[in-house]
Amino acid sequence: MNTVLYVGITNNLERRILEHRNKICSSFSNKYNLNKLVYYEEYEDVRNAIEREKQIKGGSRKRKIDLINSFNKNWQDLFL
């Protein structure tokens, strides 16, 4: 079930996902058992990544779902 969406940035995606899965991160992700990667974007410049994170976070839930669906229609875990 995909009820809670988490948006964040990191400079090391693999490490961050493992932190989520091993519960070594924020209480928000622990509380909702967030451990599935369904969407990501890569940026060379951290300022662009932060700007994009704010843009996504500021959007509606429907826009987030549409974005995920455009990239990963079946919501498969992209980190296996």
Q: Which long-range contacts (CB under 8 A, 24 or more apart) does 26-32 make?
A: 32/3, 32/4, 32/6
Per the structure, the count of domains in the chain is 1
Distance of alpha carbon 80 from alpha carbon 67, whole angstroms: 21
Residue 22 lies in a domain: yes
Residue 32 lies in domain: 13-71
How confident is the prediction along the chain (80 residues), in pLDDT tens digits per residue?
678 999 999 999 999 999 888 888 777 888 888 889 999 999 999 999 999 999 999 999 999 999 999 999 999 999 97
pLDDT given for residue 64 in this prediction: 97
- DSSP conformation class of 45: S
Residue 1 lies in a domain: no
